[in-house]
Structure 1
């Protein structure tokens, strides 16, 4: 849903209103699934310490599996447009260059660094169930706005593959483990968000409230790369380049 939202906003940033509406029309199908399974369209309150609050029965899993071919057809058409349309090519190819070495040196994450030729994706570490889902990062080598756009477009299909694999392998049983007491000590965790790697750090002393909780968001990590990409660009290209890091300034300001 996040990548479809971004593709629509990216189309809008290029003045391609019809493509914007088409992306968001397809996104509605995803939001319907999220609402059925988590209770929320965009903000999901389903996660709990120890698991999740809602289960998915066999009928719901079959319904999701039944909807995947239609979504795959929608994604194929959207990807074809972003890949072949002259307007998109003119506004993205050779613009906002971020070389492979520079992307690494500036600490870029997510589709930004994968669009510059690096297979950097925290899901490759196998956390959660990713080591059981045949995951492979999407990488492009063009290192421009076009590459970062196509990484996100192609990752739509990666998401469908992960869902199909999960449906086939998800076990029956409890959905939330019993957790007692309050945590003590320090811990940090890395995870892959649609924008890239996020880091959570927590410190606790056994009391009800945490002593410290800090979040390093992917937008913050991608700002140095954005500054580099904007240097010397045409004014008309600024919105397109900025959008290619999919900035979320609100979460970055945490």
Structure 2
């Protein structure tokens, strides 16, 4: 009598050389084949939304950009736009263009970083080092524009805090020339390597139907063939004046696999797209002020007189970044603030991607959606005696809804 197949559970994480942040995946395997997976995000939630209730909207800007270091300006723009939506504060045209330039520069450095890390996960260290070398150019430009390489602190309600000077404009144009000259080498080194193709092609497949079913967003959804990009479908800032088309594999490769290679390809092609967008914004940069109100005290007095609920969604490097806020007239601090980062949606597809894959591909599949674990929802309850319990998803949703109802009626 043949012995029945046995499965074993193998944990990956919470600390793993192939993962950027703490996360645990319990892989149920039959030999080398993954038959099921259970994933638990790392317990690194920082309670930023709760902290914001003790701060005014101007102070919350600096909390918002610390939700994620890689796409910090995307969170700033989504937050200030939600406040502008609730208060009706206008944004000067020049500020919209500067915001767009910064958003696209951030997209470039985020995608190059992810591509380099993907190569590192594969063991392709020379391509990883090349990617990190290329990324330095855009980081230098971001530092020239804002004074920082991360957490730029230039966004404000009603505009931006720093203008593009002639010196910065020169640095941006030099960067564009540099990438148009050098980036194709990195693309060719990776995409033409047969070993890289073998490790990426038909690995972590997410079909178009499953991408829709599990609400994938951003490059993860576009790599599955979905034409979805908020810069295209719901343009904001300077995107209203630009023609931004979603980057999907079928337009370039003629076929969609929805695998790790397609997710790599989409991000690399979006680097070229971002370079083109920055070029158009620099050529069409309008004159005028860069903020609606330059005096913080006067701006704060305007915010204290505002009342209402606002919502904003923008296309961050990883996908849809949604913020919602409520302001109460006469109160300096915000009433409530909710954030849904793109990893919330994309992580739902992990179990589908893992099905029937090899153990060795697990770190690459996890990283293929470019996850930001510290943005994801989870809650650990610790009582006075020190014992802890993990709140389930259903319980957390119920608590969030109850809390929102209470805040809405304050």
TM over 0.5: yes
The superposition leaves residues 104-163 of structure 1 with CA deviations (integer Å, 9 ceiling, x where unpaired) of: 111000110000101111111211110212211111122111000000011000110000
Shift of 1:173: 1.1
Q: CA RMSD in A?
A: 1.3
Written as runs of structure 1 = structure 2, the 5 A alignment for 1:76-87 is 76-87=184-195
Distance 1:203 1:210 in 2: 6
What is the rounded CA distance, in whole Å, between the counterparts of 2:141 and 2:171 in structure 1?
A: 9
Contact in 1 for aligned 2:325/2:338 (Cα 8 Å)? yes
CA distance in 1: counterparts of 2:176 and 2:235, whole angstroms = 24
Equivalent pairs counted in the alignment come to 254
Bigger radius of gyration? 2
Q: Does 1:170 align with 2:170?
A: no
What is the CA-CA distance between 1:84 and the residue it aligns to? 1.0
**2:145 matched to which residue of 1?**
37
Corresponding residue for 2:303?
Answer: 181
**Equivalence for 1:195:** 318
Contact 2:206–2:353 (Cα < 8 Å) also in 1:
yes
What is the aligned partner in structure 2 of residue 91 from structure 1?
199
Instruction: Name which of 114, 119, 131 aligns with 2:240.
Output: 131
Q: How many angstroms does 1:72 deviate by?
A: 1.6
1:20 maps onto 2:128 in alignment: yes
Distance 1:37 1:253 in 2: 33
Cα distance in 1 for partners of 2:307, 2:286 equals 31
Stretches of structure 1 lacking an aligned partner (at least 5 in a row): none
Shift of 1:36: 0.4
Output the CA distance in 2 between the equivalents of 1:142 and 1:252. Answer: 27
1:143 aligned partner: 258
Provide the residue aligned with 2:328 in structure 1: 205
Aligned ranges for residues 28-67 of structure 1 at < 5 Å?
Answer: 28-67=136-175
Shift of 1:66: 3.0
* TM-aligned CA deviation for residue 69 of structure 1: 1.8
1:229 pairs with one of 353, 356, 361: 353
DSSP 3-state at the match of 1:186: strand
C-alpha distance in 2 between matches for 1:91 and 1:24:
21
Cα contact 2:141–2:171 (8 A) shared by 1: no
Q: Which moved more, 1:50-59 or 1:109-118?
A: 50-59
Off by >4 Å, runs of 4+ in structure 1? none
| 8 A Cα contact 1:37 1:54, kept in partner | yes
Is contact 2:137-2:175 (8 Å) kept?
A: no
Q: Does 1:103 align with 2:172?
A: no
Shift of 1:219: 0.6
Aligned with 1:80: secondary structure?
Answer: helix
Higher RCO (C-alpha under 8 Å, 6+ residues apart): 2
Question: What TM-score do you get using the length of structure 1 for normalisation?
Answer: 0.96
Return the offset for 1:181: 3.1
Deviation at 1:237, TM superposition (A): 0.7
